[in-house]
Each structure stands twice: as C-alpha cells, then as structure tokens.
Amino acid sequence: MTTGFFWDEKCFWHGGGNYAGMLPVGGLVQPMVGGGLPESPESKRRLMNLMDVTGLAGDLDMRHAPAATTEDLLRVHPASYLDTFKATSDAGGGELGRRTPFGPGGYEMAALSAGLSIAALQAVLKGELTNAYALSRPPGHHCLPDFPNGFCLLANLALAIQSARAKGLAQRVVVLDWDVHHGNGTEAIFYDDPDVLTISMHQDRNYPMDTGDFADRGRGKGAGFNLNIPLPPGTGHIGYLSTMERIVIPQVQAFKPDVIVIACGYDAAAIDPLGRMLATAQTFQVMTQQVKSLAEDLCGGRLMMAHEGGYSEVYVPFCGHHVIAEMAGSNIVAPDPFGDVFPLRQPTAAFDRFLDGLLGDMADAL
C-alpha cells in the first residue's frame, strides 16, 4: 500500500493580515503577540515537522503538484469571481467575502492549494497511489462558487472532484466532512447532484450559524444526496464513533461510491479554540480506520483526504499524525501527549444517553 502526501512550502506563506483571533485589530481590539487569524501556517507546518521527527514521512510518497489551472477553476467558480480575486491579489490583497482576508499572491497560493487536492485525488483514481492526503492551505469547504468565507478562498475538494469527473476518472463520489464546522460550500456546489453524496458531521450552529440543518437533504435530482449531522457541543469520542457507525457508514454503503473523499478538519479536537467537541487523536484515528475499511469494501481502497480546519498548534500535529499513519498502515507512533487527560474529560453517561436518542431519531428519519 502506498500513501501519497501532497504539500508545498508556498501554501504556508498565505496570510490574512493583522488580526487578533477572529477580530481585526483596531478600536478596542489589542494586537496579540505573534497574533493573526486562527488559520495560521503553524499547525500544518508542525504536523510536517512531527512526521519528519518520527520518521513517518519516510513511509509516505511525498509529492508536490502544479497549481489548479484556469480551466480547473472554472468548473466551479465563475470567471467574474476569479477575475476579482486575481485583481485584488495583484493589488496587495484584501477581503472579498466573510472572514477570508488574504495578502499579495493570495490568488496563486489558493490555486496551488486547490492543485494539491486535484493532484492527490487523480493519483488515487489513476491507481498511482492507494490513498492520499493533501495538506491544502488555505482550506476550501466553506467557499461558495462566487463567495469566499470561513478562511476558504477556493473550493478545493469540489474542484478536485469536478476535475476528476471531467477526465472520466470517477462518477459517483462520497464527500465526508468531519471538520467541526458545516461544509456549506461543498454542500451548495453539489446540492442538485445525485452522483455526489455530501455528508457533514459538525457542531450544531457553530459556523456558519445559518446552515447545516438535518432537514437540508438536497434539491431536484440531488434530493436525498446531502446529509447534515448537526451534533451538540461536547459530543466526544464515543459520540463521534457512534455517529459514524449508526448514520454515516450505512449511507455510504448504500451509495456505492467510486471513491471516498474526506474534508479532514481537526477542529473537533478537545482543545481547539474554534470548537467544543472533545474529540481526541484516537477519535480521528478510529474514524480513519472506518473510512479506510469502507473504501476497501466499496471502491478498491480509493480514499483521499484534504486538510481543512484545526487551529491548535499543539494538538493538530498529533491528530494528523494518527490519521496519516493509519492511512499508510505505518507502525510509527507519535504518542498523544494528552492521552491520559482527554479521556477523563469525555461526556457523562447521561449525555451519551441523550446523544443516543438524537442519533436514533436521525437514523429513523433517513
């Protein structure tokens, strides 16, 4: 088994300017030492550093990729948006949507980020790799065709899927988004499409606060092929695995995809500043086992992941290491430094009973 890892140093250079967390500096908002947007390069760079130190990088096929072409981008984004994005980028950067500031060269960095996802998916579909991970930055799952938001400037996974489909490499695709925030961009792009099953398991009413309802099931020919699973804050390890077993896995099995694609965010982790879900590195590892087994049973092992959110510079590297080692079947371990603590902070039995009932109601409604 060969696992590809797609990355580029230039993706780490994307920046959003002078922010203090989610707030632009100014007025009563004081600058932070080493501050900026939560979507910083450090969580991703430290993941790569950890893989180098443990030796996991040596078990991977490390690759670069060209930027997404204009032809690729036009499969999802209208020319008017791309032209405005490029002109703003060339003029030094700015803010085109909601919480998506970028600096000079932002257009080229976003196109490169999308290119990593495009190349990773195509390498899997062509049989060059068993599975692949794209360290895409900036992320993509919130980006609408003509409106960027939530740190996302281009719809990386949607672009990868549409490029692969245009080349005849796949037709039926499952997108499973386990980022803590609703994958509203991916949902919107495929909302009418019966050949792409989009599943988002996210913290209820986190971001965006006006999307992600269970009742939103698709439209027209795509009716029934969008599934939102809004979970309560504090869902935790057992809750995530139960959600996978009771809702996600049966839906994917029934759909019978050509490939499984994961929007792999780590912001459901226990100490993420933008989530409150109490997942652990082991949670992400076991979910990876589950989707890897699904892919082996349904579509010849074809599995691709793209990095989305995750804002704890301390913990994201360990969550990512657990996922990538599992994808590669590697026995190289980076022990979870919070492995003795986070299990003690999991939900109570009473909460688990409440969640069990909630998941039962969802399963009955499908």
Active-site positions read 142
C-alpha span between 301 and 338 (Å, rounded): 31
C-alpha span between 47 and 307 (Å, rounded): 11
Burial readout 183-204 (b: 16 or more C-beta within 10 A, e: otherwise):
bbbbbbbbbebebbbbbbbbbb
C-alpha span between 298 and 176 (Å, rounded): 15
C-alpha span between 324 and 44 (Å, rounded): 13
Residue whose pair of structure tokens reads 């879900």 in the numeric block:
277
Contact 307, 135 (CB under 8 A): yes
Q: In a 10 Å sphere around its CB, with 0-12 CB exposed, 13-18 middle and 19+ buried, how is residue 344 labelled?
A: exposed
Phi, psi angles (nearest 5°) of residue 349: -60, -35
Ramachandran area for residue 24 (φ above 0: left; ψ -120 to 50: alpha; else beta): beta
Half-sphere CA count of 249, side-chain side, radius 13 A: 17
C-alpha span between 207 and 332 (Å, rounded): 35
Contact 2, 29 (CB under 8 A): no
Phi, psi angles (nearest 5°) of residue 301: 80, 5
**Amino acid identity, residue 120?**
A
Q: What angle do CA 235, 304, 2 make, to 5 degrees?
A: 120
